[in-house]
């Protein structure tokens, strides 16, 4: 049950902190006072679309919070399914920055907008005028039947079968893509054999290129090598002076400890020079000119480059991966006949199960239609449509859909003897509102929604029918927390609690606010609904009469 609503910086509402009571609450106000703004703020907290242009333009962040009282069962499990902690009073919060960035929270935990919507839909049902268009949608009728008749088990089974069938179809499509007409198994096998026979190693290309660089520069390397040897051990080389230097520092060290560091450094120079000479000597066997080896390396690299250009890759690892992919496709192609046969059988089996589940769901719906229509006809009588004729007509679909293998159309006639036609073709606006109200009344009695908000669902109703609608609202409020936005004095007088939305200007700025009316204020507001701005004593007397019933 909704117990509080807090709004900050939303459109014309600067700040609002509202306590919401159980029972029947009516919301009134002059046209344009801001009732739609209040409704928009609540819908924002429940995960509705954020229109940045409708928010305050002073650069402040918009925050809307809605508190709901929850029972541990089933809400603990529902929240835990979304990795959320249960709280007896749980808060749904939406924040919109001035730049339009949206954030959603449940009990101070950030959540995705989809999760916020999924949870809020189980907390509150909001009806607006545009929702009447749903009457003409077969999906709405099917969903209403399922929820009112408690066909969750049958619908869940159908949904599972539908998902299995679609998955089987998807596998067939995937097979067609992988082994379609564009796949040439002979050529693919040739490519795999060519790459495998090349005996490629992932790192060999870099090694070949380094060897090619060495072989291509061999003459220069030999010349520089000879110069390096000569600089170390030739007549003018460094080895003999270094030996003399080492002998001299050894003698100095024996005469005085102050030459210890000089002697150590000189010894290191001598050792390094000898190590450099040994290293050069080790390279001597590798410095032979080898034209055959050079040709071999050049041919190997040319072959690797040719393979890479041919298959549009830039490295040996990519060539090897390409071969693996082709091998996998070849394996799939080889076994595709048996795989496709199994996949096609899976499609047939899943479709058979889907048809069975669809027929079971359809029969369950058809079984419930008479009682649903009887209850609906009785409720329509309470809103002065007792002569209306209602029918729900099924029609088999060529292909199973989200809501089943059949569509269900609502047919209507407000007058006996008239031709029954689809509801959207014959029902007036007021008749559609009363029909939707009757459907909502049946649903809340059957399923016990926590909160129901009706936005001017009584539009187009007047006279004695208005009094009947007010009585129906009161009866609905016995099963659900009911908030009704209305212009009817009869409905306003029937509420247990009364809010009035009002607009005012201050310092050049327009604001919208909400006032919780006390008994005397309620008399004035209901009288305004009866008589307009010129409130008479007669109107006040009528208002007192409506409020006392």
CATH code for position 105: 3.40.50.300
Comparing 417 with 310, the larger pLDDT belongs to 310
Taking residues 500-529, what's their average pLDDT? 88
pLDDT at position 445 is 60
Asked if residue 411 is part of any domain, the answer here is no
The answer to whether residues 68 and 450 touch, using CB atoms and an 8 Å cutoff, is yes
Same-domain pairing of 191 and 328: yes
**Residue 359: is its pLDDT beyond 60?**
yes
pLDDT in tens, 361-405: 999 999 989 988 898 888 888 888 888 888 899 999 999 998 899
Same-domain pairing of 229 and 311: yes
CA dist., res. 516 & res. 505, Å (int): 20
Tell which of 310, 333, 356 closes a domain. 333
> Band of the pLDDT at 65, cuts 50, 70, 90?
very high
Give the 3-state secondary structure of residue 102.
strand
The answer to whether residues 316 and 131 touch, using CB atoms and an 8 Å cutoff, is no
The answer to whether residues 307 and 197 touch, using CB atoms and an 8 Å cutoff, is no
The CA-based dihedral angle spanning residues 304, 310, 315, 319, taken in that order and rounded to the nearest 10 degrees: -100
Tally the domains of the chain: 3
Q: What residues contact 353, with CB distance under 8 A and at least 6 apart?
A: 161, 164, 165
Same-domain pairing of 504 and 548: no
- Residue 127: count of CB within 10 angstroms of its CB: 21
Rg (CA), the chain: 43
- Residue 80: count of CB within 10 angstroms of its CB: 11
Same-domain pairing of 314 and 191: yes
Tell which of 333, 352, 381 closes a domain. 333
**Residue 281: is its pLDDT beyond 90?**
no
Q: What residues contact 405, with CB distance under 8 A and at least 6 apart?
A: 354, 355, 358, 359, 361, 362, 396, 397
pLDDT in tens, 461-478: 887 888 888 998 998 888
Same-domain pairing of 325 and 457: no
Same-domain pairing of 189 and 324: yes
What element of type H or E holds 37?
A: helix 35-45
Same-domain pairing of 455 and 547: no
Same-domain pairing of 195 and 323: yes
Sheet of strand 509-516, all strands in order from the earlier edge strand to the far edge: 124-127, 451-455, 481-485, 24-28, 497-506, 509-516
Provide the domain limits for residue 310.
Answer: 185-333
**Residue 26: is its pLDDT beyond 90?**
yes
Same-domain pairing of 115 and 212: no
Do you know the residue count of the chain? Answer: 549
> Band of the pLDDT at 93, cuts 50, 70, 90?
very high
What element of type H or E holds 371?
A: helix 316-382
* Whole-number Cα distances in Å, 262 to 20, 242, 270, 532: 94, 13, 12, 114
pLDDT in tens, 214-250: 888 888 888 887 888 888 877 777 888 888 888 898 8
Tell which of 318, 333, 348 closes a domain. 333
Asked if residue 442 is part of any domain, the answer here is no
The answer to whether residues 93 and 65 touch, using CB atoms and an 8 Å cutoff, is yes
Q: Would the pTM of this model clear 0.75, i.e. be above it? A: no
- In the predicted model, what is the mean pLDDT of the chain? 85
pLDDT in tens, 321-351: 999 988 887 877 776 667 778 888 999 999 9
pLDDT in tens, 421-441: 888 787 777 788 888 888 888
pLDDT at position 158 is 94
Q: 468: which 2 tokens?
A: 């009947």
pLDDT in tens, 170-214: 888 877 776 655 567 778 888 888 899 989 999 999 999 988 888
CA dist., res. 465 & res. 450, Å (int): 27
Same-domain pairing of 202 and 297: yes
Comparing 299 with 448, the larger pLDDT belongs to 299
Asked if residue 285 is part of any domain, the answer here is yes
* Whole-number Cα distances in Å, 372 to 357, 364, 390, 476: 22, 12, 10, 17
Same-domain pairing of 196 and 260: yes
Same-domain pairing of 202 and 301: yes
- Residue 316: count of CB within 10 angstroms of its CB: 20
CA dist., res. 80 & res. 169, Å (int): 34
């Amino acid at each position: 049950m909704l117990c509080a609503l807090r709004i900050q910086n939303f459109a014309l509402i600067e700040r609002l902190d509202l306590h919401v009571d159980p029972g029947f609450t009516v919301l009134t106000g002059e046209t344009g006072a801001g009732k739609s703004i209040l409704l928009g703020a609540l819908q924002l907290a429940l995960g509705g679309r954020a229109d940045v242009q409708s928010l305050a333009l002073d650069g402040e962040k918009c925050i809307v919070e809605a508190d709901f009282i929850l029972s541990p069962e089933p809400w603990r499990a529902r929240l835990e399914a979304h990795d959320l902690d249960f709280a007896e009073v749980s808060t749904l919060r939406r924040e919109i920055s001035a730049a339009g960035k949206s954030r959603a929270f449940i009990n101070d935990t950030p959540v995705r907008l989809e999760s916020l919507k999924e949870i809020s839909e189980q907390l509150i049902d909001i009806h607006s005028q545009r929702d009447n268009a749903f009457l003409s949608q077969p999906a709405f009728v099917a969903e209403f039947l399922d929820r009112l008749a408690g066909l969750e088990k049958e619908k869940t089974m159908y949904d599972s079968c539908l998902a299995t069938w679609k998955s089987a179809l998807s596998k067939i499509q995937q097979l067609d893509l992988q082994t379609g007409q564009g796949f040439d198994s002979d050529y693919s096998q040739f490519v795999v054999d060519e790459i495998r026979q090349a005996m490629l190693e992932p790192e060999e290309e870099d090694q070949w290129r380094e060897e090619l660089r060495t072989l291509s520069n061999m003459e220069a390397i030999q010349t520089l090598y000879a110069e390096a040897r000569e600089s170390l051990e030739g007549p003018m080389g460094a080895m003999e002076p270094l030996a003399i230097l080492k002998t001299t520092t050894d003698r100095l060290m024996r005469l005085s400890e102050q030459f210890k560091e000089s002697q150590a450094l000189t010894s290191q120079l001598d050792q390094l020079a000898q190590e450099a000479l040994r290293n050069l000597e080790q390279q001597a066997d590798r410095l032979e000119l080898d034209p055959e080896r050079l040709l071999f390396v050049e041919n190997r690299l040319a072959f690797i480059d040719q393979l890479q250009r041919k298959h549009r890759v830039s490295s040996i690892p990519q060539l090897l991966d390409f071969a693996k992919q082709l091998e996998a496709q070849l394996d799939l192609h080889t076994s595709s006949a048996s795989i496709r046969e199994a996949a096609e059988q899976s499609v047939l089996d899943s479709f058979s199960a889907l048809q069975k589940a669809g027929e079971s769901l359809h029969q369950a719906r058809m079984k419930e239609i008479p009682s649903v229509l009887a209850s609906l006809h009785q409720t329509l009588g309470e809103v002065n449509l007792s002569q209306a004729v209602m029918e729900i007509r099924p029609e088999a679909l060529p292909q199973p859909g989200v809501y089943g293998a059949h569509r269900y159309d609502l047919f209507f006639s407000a007058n006996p003897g008239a031709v029954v036609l689809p509801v959207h073709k014959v029902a007036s606006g007021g008749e559609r509102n009363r029909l939707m109200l009757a459907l909502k009344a049946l649903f809340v009695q059957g399923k016990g929604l926590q909160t129901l908000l009706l936005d001017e669902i009584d539009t187009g109703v007047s006279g004695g029918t208005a009094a009947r609608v007010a009585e129906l609202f009161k009866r609905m409020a016995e099963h659900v927390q009911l908030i009704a936005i209305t212009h009817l004095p009869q409905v306003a007088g029937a509420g247990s609690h009364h809010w009035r939305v009002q607009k005012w200007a201050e310092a050049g700025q327009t604001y919208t606010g909400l006032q919780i009316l006390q008994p005397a204020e309620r008399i004035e507001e209901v009288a305004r609904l009866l008589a307009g701005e010129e409130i008479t004593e007669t109107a006040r007397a009528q208002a007192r009469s409506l409020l006392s019933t």
